[in-house]
C-alpha cells in the first residue's frame, strides 16, 4: 500500500542541519503530502530553518509561547495531527521530535489505523520510540550525509563514536526472532526476520551499527549462518538465516 504521509516537525526540538536527509529518508516510506513545522518563528534561534523550509516546501506554523517554561508547540502539533487524522487525507504520520510528550499522540494515531514513523535524536525517551511503528535516529542520517560528502575513510573514526555496538542484547533479539519464524531445519526468510524485528523493537536499524542492510549485519555475527537460495527460474535470490547449532547466546 502506498502511504500518504503527514510530516509534522517539532521545530523547537530538532536540529535543522539535516532536514534534507530527513526528507529523503521519509520519502522511502511514503509520499509526504502534508509537511508542517511548528515553532515560535519570532525567536532568533529558529531563523536557520527559513531557507530550508522554502527549499523543501514545508509550511511553518506559528505558535507563540504563552507561558515561560511551557512548550506551546507540542499542543499545536497534537491538535493539527488530530485534525489531519479526521480529514481522511493520509494513512500515515511522521512525527519528527525527540520529545516524549508525543508518546500518547503516536499511540492514538496507531489506534486509529495509521502507520506512524518517528525521527529524533538518540536522547529520545524509549516510551515515544516504542509508540511508533518505526523510529529512525537522526545520527544515522548524519553519518550517511558525512560519508557522501567526505568519503568513508575520512569519516570512519567519527562514525565509530556515533555507532552502537552489537551486544548480547541484540544477538538475543535476533536469535529469538529467527526462532519465532524458523522452519523444521531452523531456517527463516530474512525479509520476515527484518519485519518482525521492527515490530519487536521499532528503533532496530542495521545502520545504527554501521551496516546499510540487515544481511551484512547478520553475516558479521558469528552466531548466525546465511544461505542464499534461487527461486524457480533463477531470476530472484532469497536470503535465509539460522542460528548456528553450537552457537551460545548469553542470557544476560
Q: What is the mean pLDDT of residues 40-62?
A: 88
Percentage of the chain modeled with pLDDT above 70? 86
Q: What is the mean pLDDT of residues 157-181?
A: 82
When the pLDDT of each residue in the chain is averaged and rounded to a whole number, the result is 87
pLDDT of residue 69: 45
What is the CATH number assigned to the segment(s) 168-243?
Answer: 3.30.420.610
pLDDT confidence of 247, banded at 50, 70, 90? low
Report the alpha-carbon distance of residue 229 to residue 219 in Å, rounded. 16
pLDDT confidence of 150, banded at 50, 70, 90? very low
Per-domain boundaries in the chain? 4-146, 168-243
pLDDT of residue 127: 96
CA 206 from chain centre, in angstroms, equals 11
Is the pLDDT at 231 greater than 90? The verdict is no
CA angle 86, 23, 93 (to 5 degrees): 20
pLDDT of residue 51: 86
Is the pLDDT at 92 greater than 70? The verdict is yes
pLDDT of residue 34: 97
Grid coordinates of 219: 553475516
What is the CATH number assigned to the segment(s) 4-146?
Answer: 3.40.50.1010
pLDDT of residue 207: 93
pLDDT confidence of 143, banded at 50, 70, 90? low
Q: Which tens digit of pLDDT belongs to each residue from 208-224?
A: 999 999 999 999 999 99
Outline where DSSP puts E strands in 64-215: 92-96, 115-120, 134-137, 188-189
Amino acid at each position: 500500500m502506498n502511504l500518504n504521509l503527514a510530516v509534522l516537525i517539532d521545530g523547537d526540538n530538532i536540529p535543522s542541519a539535516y532536514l534534507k536527509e530527513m526528507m529523503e529518508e521519509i520519502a522511502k516510506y511514503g509520499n509526504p503530502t502534508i509537511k508542517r513545522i511548528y515553532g515560535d518563528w519570532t525567536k532568533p534561534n529558529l531563523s536557520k530553518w527559513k531557507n530550508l523550509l522554502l527549499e523543501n516546501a514545508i509550511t511553518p506554523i506559528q505558535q507563540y509561547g504563552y507561558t515561560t517554561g511551557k512548550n506551546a508547540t507540542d499542543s499545536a502539533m497534537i491538535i493539527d495531527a488530530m485534525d489531519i487524522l479526521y480529514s481522511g487525507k493520509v494513512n500515515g504520520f511522521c512525527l519528527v521530535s525527540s520529545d516524549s510528550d508525543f508518546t500518547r499522540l503516536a499511540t492514538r494515531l496507531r489506534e486509529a489505523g495509521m502507520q506512524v514513523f518517528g525521527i529524533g535524536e538518540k536522547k529520545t525517551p524509549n516510551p515515544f520510540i516504542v509508540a511508533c511503528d518505526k523510529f529512525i535516529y537522526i545520527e544515522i542520517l548524519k553519518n550517511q550525509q558525512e560519508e557522501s560528502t567526505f568519503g568513508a575513510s575520512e569519516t570512519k573514526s567519527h562514525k565509530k563514536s556515533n555507532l552502537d555496538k552489537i551486544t548480547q542484547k541484540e544477538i538475543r533479539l535476533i536469535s529469538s526472532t529467527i526462532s519465532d519464524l524458523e522452519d523444521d531445519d531452523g531456517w527463516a526468510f530474512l525479509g520476515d526476520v527484518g519485519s518482525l524485528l521492527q515490530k519487536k523493537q521499532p528503533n532496530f536499524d542495521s545502520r545504527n551499527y554501521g551496516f546499510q542492510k540487515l544481511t551484512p549485519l547478520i553475516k558479521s555475527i558469528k552466531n548466525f549462518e546465511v544461505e542464499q537460495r534461487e527461486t524457480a527460474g533463477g531470476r530472484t535470490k532469497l536470503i535465509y538465516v539460522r542460528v548456528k547449532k553450537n552457537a551460545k547466546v548469553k542470557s544476560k
